[in-house]
Every structure is written in structure tokens, then in C-alpha cells.
Structure 1
Amino acid sequence: MQTTVALVESPGQEFTLSEVELDDPRPDEVLVRIVATGLCHTDVTMRSMLPAEMFPNVFGHEGTGVVERVGAEVSGIEVGDHVVLSLRSCRTCAACRAGHVGHCEQTLVLNYLGYRPDGSTTHHRAGQPVLGSFFGQSSFARHAIAHPDNCVVVDPSLDLTLLAPYGCAFQTGAGTVLNVLRPGPGDSLVVHGAGAVGLAAIAAAVAEGVDTVVAVDLLPSRLEAAAALGATPLDPSTLQGASVVDRLRELTGGGATYAIDTTAAPSVVREAMQALAPRGTLVALGLGAEEYAVDAVDLLQGGKTLTSSVEGDSDPLEMVPRLVAMREAGRFDLDHLVTTYPFADINRAVEDLHAGRVVKAVLVW
């Protein structure tokens, strides 16, 4: 079938709406008519990081939509179901069996390389392959081929536009708190970077009753959003030369039990580590830096941990319904963070995201 996609023709280029051929779903695949797709920094970053031979390419990994066709081998998903799309995993390797689907042994092939495991692409144009299968969906498109392992069926009464960020951004932030750090009321959490991922982490921590939550950012609008969720805002530019580390230690009673970095800025990661309490843990979530330098003495004497997480160590088949239930109970209210754009305005949405004019851009057909 023919469908419209937001295509990147070559590294670093803007998105352009183009017509391509999309395969019919195979027996183990699902065809989804996309209603909305969240715009994530990963989509924008990957279009510049990948080599030239991996273009043209269709990105998009926070899709929501309605199932139009189901392969003969698919169970648990039916035509007409409303679904949230997320990352793919094989469900059979040791990591998947242990519940760590974000660290699936087949992650690269299933999510990033642009084709199916057999080397075929789901998209073609003028007889030539177009790479896609991004996170097993490539949902910057009117239609996407997805799979039972990354399709989460949701209540059809829910607004799919507002649920798009649950496939990645909200799941990553909240999952890092709920699955990785698991803070309690007596703990403290500092979130560096109050974008969609950081604000989701803050919302989850507040929902869990964490006593002290601090948000660090340079944008007043994002600090206001963090404060509205229950965090103490900190703008480093207002400290007039004072140490960010010292201020964070003051706010957390000597150092934070936990911290999350979404900025991928090496200097911020270093400060985040230094502001931890002894035996504290920092989870690095940002994509973009090639390496991080930490204070070795601080690390060794403090017994601190620097780790990372993929999608908040979440299984989307479990985490998306959990977060949606928290949302319905009023314990995870992030709807106001969403700003919608027509798909034709995808490049404007990218500009607004980079400029900090929006927290979470969602593209709609």
C-alpha cells in the first residue's frame, strides 16, 4: 500500500513528507493507522548520528493509532484495537526472560538498523529500499508496521494524542524512578533537565511520596512545570557564581540519594555525581555525549554509582498500562505538557523543541 511518511533523505537533513510503498503485514506483524506520534530528541539525534548508507530513513518511535490489519500468527491484538507503540524485543533471550526487555540481545536489529531481522525493509520507493523499522514501528507515517511485542492495547475511550509520549519519554522518566531507583519517602531525588523525560521522573517520584525532589534546568517555563508537579526548582544561572553542587547539597540535606540526568552534558553529569550523598546513584539517560568524565576521588571515596537505563528498564506491555492507570487515578498528570502539531509542521516542531518553547511536541494527522 502507499502511505505518507516524514522522510529524512540524508544525514542531518530536515524531515520531508513523501509517498512510499509500505509492505503488507507479515503473519507476525500488525498494520497500524497512526493517529499521533510524539517527537523525541532521539528521533532528531539519530538523523544526524547515522552514517550516509542508512538513509533515506523513516524515524518515529512514540506512535499511537488504530489497528487495521493483523497477521495470522498474531494473538491478543484485533482489528480496531487502539494501541500505544513502543520499543521491540525478542521476548526469548536471557535478558528478555529476566524482564529486561530494553537490553534484549536483538535490540540493535529490532530497533535501530532500519530493516527486519531477515534484511528486508518494510518501506520502498521507486523500487528501492527505504530504511525504517525504527523501534519496530517508524511511526512518523500515516501507517506503520508493528509487532505484538511493541503494541500495547489501550481503552478506546482514551485520547491517543495524549498517550503518544507514554511509548518512550514518559515511560523512560517514570520507569527510571519506579523500576531502577525505587526511592522511598525518606530519599531525595535531583533531576537534571526538566524536559518530558525529567518531568515524568518528577511526577513519578512525587506520586511515590519522595520527600525531596529537585529539578535543575535553565528554562523558567520548565522549572515552573516542575514546581507545579511538586519539585523544588533550581536555575544554575541564578546562583551568581555559587556552586551548583553546594546548593544541591543544601537542598537535599547533605547530598541526594538519587539523581537522573537527561541533558547528556558532561559537565552536568560531573556535577550531578558530586552532589550525590555517599553511596548515591546517578542514572544517565541523555543521548548525545561520547563520554563522561567523573571526579575519581569523589567516586571512589563516596562509593557512588553511575549507571544508565533503556526506557527506564520498563517492559512497555506492563509499564504503559501502569502509567495510564496512574494517570486515570490523578497520580501522573502530564497531559498539559503536550503541544500538538500537524505532521506537515514537523520541522517547526523540531525547532520549537530545540528552542525550549514546548516540552512535548506530538504530531497528529
Structure 2
Amino acid sequence: MQIKAAVAREAKQALSIETLELEQPDTHEILVKVLATGVCHTDLVVRDGMLPTPLPAVLGHEGAGIVEHVGAGVTKVKPGDRVVMTFNSCGTCPSCHHHDSVYCHEFFPLNFNGARLDGSSPISKDGEAISGNFFGQSSFANFALCNERNVVQVPDGIELELLGPLACGIQTGAGAIINALKVTPGSTVAVFGVGSVGLSAIMAAKVCSATTIIAVDQNAERLALAKELGATHTVNVNDCNSTEEIMNITGYGLNFALDTTGLPPVIRNAVEALAPKGTCGILGASGPDAEICLNETHFMSAGRRLMGIVEGESHPETFIPELIRLHQAGFFPFDKLVRFYEFEEINQAIADSESGVTIKPIVRMPH
């Protein structure tokens, strides 16, 4: 079938809206009529050639829509179901068997190679190979193919176009707090970097009843929003030393720190602000060769911990509906992060994300 899609053809260049061909779903694949897709930092990293997804490619990995057609082996959803599409996993490795699909042994090839595991792409243009299957979906398009393992059915009663970012960025921040760090009531938490992921973490820390929630950033407007969403304190790194200020606020340091920037100096500051037995989680890296430097004595002598976290260590089938329930109950107002764009404005949405004008852009697809 023919689809409209935004194609990344050259690194660091604008996406081009083109008519492409999309295959019909294979045995365990699902054709989704995409209503809207979030723009995530990972899309931009891949567009800029920092990860080895071959270009040209159709990116997009926070898609929400309606099931149009299913492969012969699909039993999880049926045509007409409301769904979001999240990361893909193999379902057969030890991690998947232990319900840790975020650490699937095939996570990288399934999500970043731009092809199915057999090397084929479901997207082409007049015989030209186009990388598809990005995060098992390539949802910068009005139709996308996903897999039975990375589709999540969502309930009625909430705007479907709003829900795509729950499948990646928002579940990453919230899940890091709830699932990975397991923040406890009465604890002290600091989030370093308050974009969409960090602000989701702030909201989640409030849900977990942390009593001291510190937002650390250099953007005064983002810090003000963090205060509105649950932060009890804000630290602007343009005005002070973040570690010293956190010590002033807490008296002894943090039970939990979360870095969303991937910047080694910021990660070091986060670790240095930990109390004894405190844990710091990190959600990204500033580049493939980035390294973290810590003071060994400070780190080891008080039992401090540093952990990497992927996709919030979420089990999407249960965690995404949980976030929706929290939102509907008024405890997780992630809609305050969102601005909608039409499909023809996708490059503007990307530019606004990069400049910080918009926290979480969502692009509505044409039908």
C-alpha cells in the first residue's frame, strides 16, 4: 500500500515528506493507522548519524493509532483496537523470558538496524531501499507496521493522539523513578535535566510520595514548570554549584538521583550529591565513546551506586495503562508537556524540540 511518510535522507538535514510503499503485515505483524507520533531525542540522534541506522530511513517511535489489519498469527489485538507502539524485543532471549524485555539481547538490532531481524525492510520507494521497522514501527508516517510484541492496547476515555509519548520518553522518565530506582515514600530525589523525560520523573517522584524533590537545570522556565508538577525545590546551575546546593537543601545528600542529560560532568555531580547508600540512575549517553569519571573513594566508601536504565525498566503492557490511570486521576498531568503539530510541520516540531521551545512535540498524521 502507499503511505505518506517523513524520510530522513541525509544526516542533520530536514526530513522530506514522500509517498512510499509499505508491505502488508507478516504473520506476527500489525498494520496501524497512525493518528499521532511523538518526537523524541532519539529520533534526532539517529537523523544526525550518531547511531548506525542506515539512511534514508523513516524514523518515529512513539506512535499511537488504530489497528487496521493483523497478520495471520496475531491474537493480541484486532482491527479497530486503540493502541500505542513501544520498543521492540525478541521474546525468546533470557531477558525476555524474565519479563525484562527492555534488556532484550536483540534490543539494538531490533530497534536501530532499520530492518527486521531477517534484514528486510517493509518500506521502499520505486525499488529504492528505505530503512523501516525503526523501533519496530517507523511511525513518522500515516500507516506503520509493528510487531505483536511491541503493541499495547489502551483504553477509551482519553485522547488517543496524546498517548504516543507514553511508549518511550514519558515511560522512560516515570519508569526510572517507579520501576528502576523504586523511590520510596519520604525519600529525597533530584532529577538532573528537566525536559520531557526529567519532568515525567518529577511527576513520578510525587506519585511515589518522595518528600524532597529537587529539579536541576539551567532553564528557568523548565524549572518553574517542574515546581508546578511536583518539585519541592529547584536548582539553577547558572546560579550555584548544584552539589553544594543539594547538600544545603537535604543536609546529608540524596537517597536517589536521576540524570537525564547523559553528560559525564553532570553525572559526576549527581553521584557526588548522593547520601551514603544513595543510588544514581542514568538514562542516556552523550556519545558512543563518552566515559564517566568518579572519585573512587567517595563512591566506594559509602556504598553509593550507579545504574544504567533503559526505557524506565518498564513492562509496557502494564505500565502504560498504569500511567494512563494516574493521568485520569489527576496525579500525572503529562499533557502539560505537549504541543501538537500537523504532519507538514514536522521539521518545525523538530526544530522547536531542539531549541527548547516545545518540551514534547506530537505530530498529527494526515488521513
Same fold (TM over 0.5): yes
Which residue is equivalent to 2:249? 251
Deviation at 1:157, TM superposition (A): 3.3
Q: Is the 8 A contact 1:11 1:52 kept in 2?
A: no
Map 1:227-306 → 2, pairs under 5 A: 227-231=227-231, 232-239=233-240, 243-289=241-287, 290-306=290-306
The 1:245–1:101 alpha-carbon spacing in structure 2 relative to 1, beyond 3 Å, is same
Map 1:140-155 → 2, pairs under 5 A: 140-155=140-155
Deviation at 1:352, TM superposition (A): 1.1
* Deviation sequence 1:312-363 (CA, Å, 0-9, x none): 1111111111111111121111111100111211111121112111111111
Which residue is equivalent to 2:197? 197
The letter for the 1-side match of 2:353 is L
SS in 2 for 1:91: coil
Which residue is equivalent to 2:77? 77
2:63 and 2:291 mapped to 1: Cα distance? 30
* Larger CA deviation: 265-274 vs 42-51: 42-51
2:326 and 2:338 mapped to 1: Cα distance? 17
* Deviation sequence 1:15-73 (CA, Å, 0-9, x none): 11111110111121100011000000010011223578811011111000111111110
* Larger CA deviation: 315-324 vs 287-296: 287-296
SS in 1 for 2:173: helix
Q: Structure 1 vs Structure 2: percent identity of aligned residues?
A: 38
2:82 and 2:75 mapped to 1: Cα distance? 15
Which residue is equivalent to 2:130? 130
Q: Is the 8 A contact 2:216 2:242 kept in 1?
A: no
Q: Is the 8 A contact 1:189 1:213 kept in 2?
A: yes
2:51 and 2:256 mapped to 1: Cα distance? 36
Residue 100 (structure 2) pairs with residue 68 (structure 1):
no
1:269 and 1:103 mapped to 2: Cα distance? 22
SS in 2 for 1:321: helix
**What TM-score, normalized to structure 2?**
0.95
**What TM-score, normalized to structure 1?**
0.96
The letter for the 1-side match of 2:30 is V
Which residue is equivalent to 1:23? 23
2:205 and 2:230 mapped to 1: Cα distance? 9
Unaligned runs of 5+ in 1: none
2:37 and 2:51 mapped to 1: Cα distance? 24
Q: Is the 8 A contact 2:52 2:113 kept in 1?
A: no
* Larger CA deviation: 51-60 vs 298-307: 51-60
Deviation at 1:112, TM superposition (A): 1.0
Q: For this pair of structures, how many residues does the alignment match?
A: 362
Which residue is equivalent to 2:326? 326
SS in 2 for 1:288: coil
Which residue is equivalent to 1:216? 216
Which residue is equivalent to 1:158? 158
The 1:50–1:129 alpha-carbon spacing in structure 2 relative to 1, beyond 3 Å, is farther
Deviation at 1:156, TM superposition (A): 3.4
1:197 and 1:21 mapped to 2: Cα distance? 33
SS in 1 for 2:48: helix
1:53 and 1:95 mapped to 2: Cα distance? 24
The 1:296–1:331 alpha-carbon spacing in structure 2 relative to 1, beyond 3 Å, is same
SS in 1 for 2:238: helix
The 1:205–1:52 alpha-carbon spacing in structure 2 relative to 1, beyond 3 Å, is closer
1:265 and 1:346 mapped to 2: Cα distance? 27
Deviation at 1:150, TM superposition (A): 0.9
1:302 and 1:247 mapped to 2: Cα distance? 20
Q: Is the 8 A contact 1:58 1:130 kept in 2?
A: yes
Deviation at 1:118, TM superposition (A): 1.1
1:293 and 1:266 mapped to 2: Cα distance? 7
2:341 and 2:351 mapped to 1: Cα distance? 12
The 1:51–1:100 alpha-carbon spacing in structure 2 relative to 1, beyond 3 Å, is closer
Q: RMSD of the alignment, in Å?
A: 1.4
SS in 2 for 1:238: coil
2:65 and 2:300 mapped to 1: Cα distance? 48
The 1:193–1:67 alpha-carbon spacing in structure 2 relative to 1, beyond 3 Å, is same
The 1:100–1:39 alpha-carbon spacing in structure 2 relative to 1, beyond 3 Å, is same
* Larger CA deviation: 205-214 vs 299-308: 299-308
SS in 2 for 1:352: helix
Unaligned runs of 5+ in 2: none
The 1:292–1:22 alpha-carbon spacing in structure 2 relative to 1, beyond 3 Å, is same
Q: Is the 8 A contact 2:191 2:215 kept in 1?
A: yes
The 1:51–1:62 alpha-carbon spacing in structure 2 relative to 1, beyond 3 Å, is closer
Residue 68 (structure 2) pairs with residue 40 (structure 1):
no
2:129 and 2:364 mapped to 1: Cα distance? 26
* Larger CA deviation: 229-238 vs 153-162: 153-162
SS in 2 for 1:54: coil
